[in-house]
Amino acid sequence: MKFNLALTAACTVLLFNQTGLAAVSAPPFYGDPPDEHHPWGVHDGNRPQPKVVTPGTFSSEAQPGKPPSDAVVLFNGTDLSNWRLDKKEGPAKWLVRDGVMQVVPKAGTIRTREEFADCQLHIEWAEPKDIQGSSQGRGNSGLFLMGMCEIQVLDSYNNVTYADGHAAALYGVNPPIANALRPPGEFQVYDIVFRRPVYKQGQVVDPGYVTVFVNGVLAQDHTPLEGTGGHKKRSKPVPFPEKGPLVLQDHGNPVRFRNIWYRPLPLRASEGGTDGCLTAEATMAKRKQIAANIRQDADRLTDPANPAPQLLRLLESLAYDRDEATVEKVTRMTSAYVQGVKQLPADQVGAKKDEVKQVKSALDYLEKAKALPPGFGPQAEIESLVKAQHWDKKS
């Protein structure tokens, strides 16, 4: 059953930005209604629109790409002002030259001054072209997400080492599913999606995950973190802090890095986000909030000469929360609306056909969704009006 809970384009309304609802200029809201674990309906016109992000550009060997418009740049190729020593206070002492920063052996591991958590991270790195050594002694470095779990940096091109120590390994936990490295001297591109573990009352709610693409090839596929990882010892799940730095390791090899940026990610349902399958408690709280915001918006549409927009908006709120005061209000408004249409001169009633049928469709939808009290009186009144005008007949 199709149902236009949103107003027609002619009656488009804008919700307040602070409500967290979308600016409604939406397609008809006709999908399944909110339920016990989903605060939004299917195809919900009130659901916030995705933010607009201008894409960046891809890198070439000679030139780093441009980050997307909402990225936070951690290294722009000119200085280390966003970085410091990791274990003690002091400026980062790595070399910056020709748009890259390079490990200075024994200068120390460095970290970002800024701390963050769940993110999309982009970082490019390169080994010396004439690299020497083998296994873990071949261009070793690493990046530590939140300073805790390591994604390995290593020249794995034609280099055999233990599987969970290759480039793009979640070090000590999970090997990459593919070795997609270019030859040493060329820049390698890591694109990482990171989700930290979530604990509540000492119990793990979400173990956290990492996804890694190496030069566009999937290397870690939503891999559970299983703790922090580490050298020689089995990792054990542990809580993570709310935020942490990105750490780049000085392992004694002159690895180069460039084009480092991240995009913060929205909260998951387990952290209080409102997308996905929520707990019944969180869902109901969000539904009540959405309904209250819609009713606030409906107040702005008050117009005794044109009551339908406000009535439709109030009816829409009932799909989220059957508030008794709103039920009483729409009962009065619907009855008054029907009487007003009946009192129109015969030559003006026809102009109300689409509007009346829209109100009827709203009531039919809410009845099916069990959002109206049983035997809701105004529904019978409007059905009687539709039949009296033969608007229920297909032309």
pLDDT by residue (tens digit) across 167-216? Answer: 999 999 999 999 999 999 999 999 999 999 999 888 898 999 999 999 99
Q: What is the DSSP string of 365-393?
A: HHHHTT-S-TT-HHHHHHHHHHHHTTTTS
Are both 262 and 285 inside the same structural domain?
Answer: no
Average pLDDT over residues 86-115: 95
Whether residue 253 is found in the same domain as residue 372? no
Quote the CA–CA distance of 297 and 312 in Å, as a whole number: 11
Residue 7 has a pLDDT of: 40
Taking CA 342 as the corner, what is the angle to CA 337 and CA 343, rounded to the nearest 5 degrees? 100
Residue 102's nearest CA partner among 250, 273, 277, 298 is 250
More confident residue, 75 or 13: 75
Find the domain containing 322 and state its range.
Answer: 9-50+274-388
The predicted pLDDT at position 209 comes to: 96
Q: Domain for residue 393, yes or no?
A: no
When pLDDT is cut at 50, 70 and 90, the band that residue 1 belongs to is very low
* Statement to judge: residues 211 and 291 lie in one domain: no
> Residue 27's CB: how many other CB atoms inside 10 A?
10
pLDDT number for residue 15: 44
pLDDT the model gives residue 11: 40
Report yes or no: 94 and 105 within 8 Å, Cβ to Cβ: no
Pair (92, 222) in one structural domain: yes
Angle 170-173-176 from CA coordinates, rounded to 5°: 50
Which residues 6+ apart lie within 8 Å of 349 measured at CB?
341, 389
**Residue 14 pLDDT class (50, 70, 90 cuts):** very low
Same domain, 81 and 150: yes
232 and 310 in a single domain? The answer is: no
Query: Do residue 280 and residue 266 come from a single domain?
Result: no
User: How far apart, in whole angstroms, are the C-alpha atoms of residue 110 and residue 87?
Assistant: 8
Residue 24 pLDDT level (bands cut at 50, 70, 90): low
Of 271, 292, 324, the residue that ends a domain is 271
Assigned domain for 331 exists: yes
Last residue of a domain, one of 251, 271, 291: 271
Locus of tokens 């059957």: 322
The proportion of the chain whose per-residue pLDDT surpasses 70, expressed as a percent, equals 92
Q: What is the pLDDT of residue 202?
A: 87
**Residue 125 pLDDT > 90, yes or no?**
yes
Strand partners, 121: 192, 262
CATH code, domain carrying 93: 2.60.120.560
| Residue 10 pLDDT | 36
21 part of a folded domain: yes
Q: What is the pLDDT of residue 225?
A: 92
Residues 376, 253 share a domain = no
Question: Would you state the pLDDT for residue 294?
Answer: 95
- pLDDT value at residue 392: 87
145-168 pLDDT per residue, tens: 999 999 999 999 989 999 999 999
Residue 3 lies in a domain: no
Q: Is the pLDDT of residue 321 over 60?
A: yes
**Category of 253 on φ-ψ map: left (φ > 0), alpha (ψ -120 to 50) or beta:** beta
Q: What's the confidence (pLDDT) of residue 238?
A: 86
CB atoms within 10 A of CB 173: 21
The pLDDT value recorded for residue 299 is 96
Pick the last residue of a domain from 220, 248, 271: 271
**CA–CA dist 381, 395 (Å, integer):** 23
- Per residue in 246-273, pLDDT tens? 999 999 899 999 999 999 999 999 888 8
* Of 132, 243, 145, the residue nearest 190 (C-alpha): 145
Instruction: Establish if 363 belongs to a structural domain.
Output: yes
Total domains in the chain come to 2
Which pair of structure tokens corresponds to residue 295? 């009713």
Same domain, 260 and 302: no
Claim to verify: residue 78 and residue 219 sit in the same structural domain: yes
> pLDDT category, 395, cuts 50, 70, 90?
low
Q: How confident is the model at residue 29, as a pLDDT? A: 61
Structural domain contains residue 61: no
pLDDT (mean) for 228-240: 80
> What average pLDDT does range 41-60 have in this prediction?
93
Residue 312 falls inside a structural domain: yes
Strand order in the sheet with 83-85: 83-85, 110-112, 247-248, 141-145, 149-153
CA 261-144-168 angle, to 5 degrees, is 85
Same-domain status, 216 and 94? yes
CA distance 234 to 227: 9
Measured CA to CA, the distance from residue 249 to residue 237 in angstroms comes to 23
Q: How confident is the model at residue 226 (pLDDT cuts 50, 70, 90)?
A: confident
**247 and 279, same domain (yes or no):** no
Full-model pTM: 0.86
Amino acid at 128: P
Mean pLDDT, to the nearest integer, of 21-25?
49
C-alpha distances (whole Å) from 106 to each of 85, 124, 219, 253, 255 are 12, 22, 30, 9, 13
Question: Does the pLDDT value for residue 26 go beyond 90?
Answer: no
Average pLDDT, the chain: 89
Residue 395 inside a domain? The answer is no
Coil vs helix vs strand at 26: coil
Give the HSE-up count for residue 337: Cα atoms under 13 Å, Cβ half-sphere.
Answer: 28
CB atoms closer than 10 angstroms to residue 367:
14
- Above 70 in pLDDT, residue 43? yes
Residue 280 confidence (pLDDT): 94
- Write out pLDDT tens, residues 348-385: 999 999 999 999 999 999 999 999 998 899 999 999 99
Backbone angles phi, psi at 135, to 5 degrees: 50, -130
Q: Mean pLDDT throughout 282-309? A: 95
